[in-house]
Amino acid sequence: MVEAPQRFEISVSDSVLDDLKERLEKARYPDELEGVDWEYGTPVKYLKEYVAFWQHHNWKEVENKLNQLPQFKLTVNGLEHHHIHKRSFRANAIPLILIHGWPGSFYEFAKIANQLAEPEGDQQAFHVVVPSLPGYGFSEKPKKRGYGVAEMAKGLNELMVKLGYKKYFAHGGDWGTIIAHTLASCYPSECVAIHITCILFPPPPLWSFPLAHLKFLMSTIFGAERTYGHEEAKRLERFQTLMNTEMGYFHAQTTKPQTLAYGLNDSPIGLLAWILEKYHTWTDRATFDLSSDEAKEAIVTTAMLYWVTETIPSSMRIYKEFRDQNMTTATISDGAMTLSSKVPTGIAFFPCDFPPCPKEWAECYTNIQRWKKYDKGGHFPGLECPDVLTNELREYFGLPVIKKAFSA
């Protein structure tokens, strides 16, 4: 007998909210250097504005809004998975799973779930599934080492099958990109087309793609601009700058996440500062003004989801699991981005997200059917520019070649 999903509603106890209120009131802020802005991390002045917003944040109102979306829990691959499951009333609706990353949550896609399920006119409709990854939000936390990208992909594929979808599409950003690509690589009979942002495929290895690898070696000698062109070279340059200046969180979370977890799990302002710094670096602040109430609402709600579930420790462990796997000789068992896939893939990149790798690299690993550049948006398009992401998903998954993959 197949287990049925159990209906779920968010309900945080008053004791948790009262404890948070007390911690925010008694917060102890560090000193800082004069005139350094964000160069050393989240500035105290900026954080205090967010903390003030958090202190007056109406969590019960957020709960009520989120509980208007149909939420469930279902055990797959050994862990209970929280998920939104918004079925469309349209007869031609296609199943679509939306996969978040870090420091994100299912909340990233809450704004677009209804739009995708019930579009206007004759636009393509979807049965929308938005999971909380294991160790995030209201999903169960892995208890043993090794539950990384491959295990998460296995669980999400099982989730879609248990929900009755023999074939489906997938979209992801951040870790969701890697998980969606792994679904396409490992479960191509079920996950028949994907769409991704945050495109971080590595340079093609010699033994699999000798010509592409030779071109990569030439770029290290003669320069990326002469090898790949001006636009690709600028992206690689910006990516290298980010790697040199913005990856402190990555090194901490890939090496000793447990030590970091004590401070972030115990201090709400520490947690907020850690998350806020990523939103400052990775969002398009021209269109997603971090001083606006809209941005504060989105970021504080995200922090709340980590705080009330105590999942910041478990959410960071995916970095350690990924690092501990051999990313240069990836196999189906480890789920790294060096897996290859023949499943149709759509790629969209936003100016304030991580710059994409050269298209020639991505073509070595995946079957690109769309390569789309936008002039606004960043790492969290579901929050920053939900209408843009919604239209992008409709356009891509509405392409004849993609719909053919589903009907084949």
Structure tokens at 122: 């004759």
**Residue among 85, 165, 171, 174 flagged as catalytic:** 174
Pairing state between β 126-131 and 79-86: antiparallel
Whether the CB-CB separation of 379 and 234 falls below 8 Å is answered with no
Structure tokens at 24: 């925010």
Catalytic site includes residue 319: yes
**At 71, which helix (H) or strand (E)?**
strand 71-76
Per-residue CA distances from 110 to 22, 218, 302, 306, 379 (Å): 29, 45, 12, 16, 16
- Cα angle 324, 330, 332 (rounded to 5 degrees) comes to 105
Catalytic site includes residue 174: yes
Omega prior to 134 cis, within 30 of 0:
no
Per-residue CA distances from 22 to 297, 306, 373, 390 (Å): 20, 17, 45, 39
**Residue among 107, 187, 379, 396 flagged as catalytic:** 379
**Residue among 147, 319, 365, 374 flagged as catalytic:** 319
Q: Which residues of 166-190 are buried (b: 16+ CB within 10 A; e: fewer)?
A: ebbbbbbbbbbbbbbbbbbbbbeeb
- Cα angle 301, 304, 310 (rounded to 5 degrees) comes to 150
Whether the CB-CB separation of 96 and 168 falls below 8 Å is answered with yes
Which letter does DSSP use for residue 41 in this model? S
Q: Which residues are catalytic?
A: 174, 319, 379
